[in-house]
Chain A
Amino acid sequence: MTRKTRRLWIVIACLACVGSAAALTLRAFSSNIVFFMAPSQVKASPPSPDRTIRLGGMVMAGSLHRINENGTPVNAFQVTDGQAAVEVHYTGILPDLFREGQSVVALGTVQKDGGFTASEVLAKHDETYMPKEVADELKRTGKWDPRFGKAPDASSWDTMTAKKAGG
């Protein structure tokens, strides 16, 4: 074995060691790396009311209620992951992208009655990017209602142009 081959093997061995160490560490801390909990997780094992967590999911269609209390908006809506839903209360201005059917991440605590009081609400947009005309066309033809979740399969619309959609 020449010196070069030996050095190559040492480098490969070191990389394998560092790689597996990183993989094991990430596996061990996986629950901490996760940015938010899903409603079904919160329902299955509710965290104690003094622990601040992030709750992530889709705003359920038809669940949003806004009232204006002395100039500050008070919002109530349900966040769902398809299996369970959690009622969220939030006082303050919601982000621009907030709507029914949008994914959101709320920071706050789970109350004793199972509701969630949020101190901050972030909108999480998905990986879909489409022009307004295409979205309007999909909505008009009944292929997609944004209030009920993600857009249909991209191959069905990604070549649609503004002209075709407008016509």
Chain B
Amino acid sequence: MIASDYFNGEPVAGNPSPRCHSAEVRVPVRPTPNLLHRYANPGQFLRLARTLLPWLTGGAIVFLVVGVIWGLFIAPADWQQGDTVRIMYVHVPMAWLASSCYLGLATCGVLSLVWRHPLADLAAIEIGPVGACAAALCLITGSLWGEPMWGTWWVWDARLTSMLVLFFLYLGHIALIRAFDEPARGQRAAAILALAGVIDLPIIKFSVQWWNTLHQPDSITLTGAPTMSMMMLWPLLICTIGFTLGVAAVIFTRLSAAIHESRARQMMARSRLDRRDSQAA
């Protein structure tokens, strides 16, 4: 099935889209409507986004208001870092989001390379800049935190360097996916880049355990008790949930807009074709 029909077609199995005007062309068999394909269908996605968006946006606002006020004004200062520790309530969510957005980008890469889902390519275009912003904010807040605490803005230790590499991977992806006149080629190349770059994620995560670094090890682990007072941990968790919901809302909005844009472009192209046909006749 070619992509242009895919974006216009509503997912009715065995019932070809009414806009399929050329009756001679054999309509390819639609993919089996399993879970993967159902949500990879742009029409289904738009419906899902319409239902979810108010909840995501509302949840993000509630969690962020509570989390930011709690973190910045109510939570206690650290016994030796003082109020500087409050940078954590932005820095940690941004680090988490930069990594998870990249994981999303890599998932889109697999879906695009293996299953050729057109929605995965659109999603990769829309996730890239959001993740790049999160990575940049993580680096900037980390730098602002490092200067007063460590005594330096930047060091080339394994954690900081691997995070910078992730930021450059995002920049490369953003550039590559838009680099070709034929979008499909850029999307293919970007999907490969996203997949290769996924190696950086475990390096970021485990850099503080594998090598000694200036950056401190993780305070929150799956196995041990968090080495952080609960009075700081709760606002941190709430801020993280809030930023995550907010970023999900941004990505859903961007992706919906991109689908609408591609539909509008196809309708314009089709009406141009129809006009040419009627002139020729």
Query: Which residues of A are interface residues toward B (Cβ below 8 A)?
Result: 4, 7-8, 11, 14-15, 18-19, 22, 26, 30, 33-36, 38, 56, 95-97, 99, 105, 120-136, 146, 151, 153-155, 157-162
Contact = CB atoms under 8 A, between A and B. Distances in A.
A154 B212 CA distance: 22
Contact of B199 (A7, A19, A105): A19
A155 B225 contact: yes
Given A30-B211, A35-B211, A158-B229, 12 more contacts: A7-B114, A8-B110, A11-B114, A22-B203, A34-B212, A97-B80, A120-B152, A129-B78, A130-B228, A131-B79, A151-B227, A158-B226
Interface residues of B, number: 45
Contact of A154 (B203, B218, B227): B227
Contacts of A56: 212
A144 to B, nearest CB: 11
B157 interface: yes
B150 interface: yes
B231 A96 contact: no
B198 interface: yes
Nearest to A98: B151
Nearest to A23: B199
Interface of B: 76-81, 85, 88, 110, 113-115, 148-152, 155-158, 195-196, 198-199, 203, 210-214, 216-219, 224-233
A135 B155 contact: no
Contact of A35 (B151, B196, B213): B213
A127 B232 CA distance: 13
B113 A132 contact: no
B214 A122 contact: yes
B219 A127 contact: yes
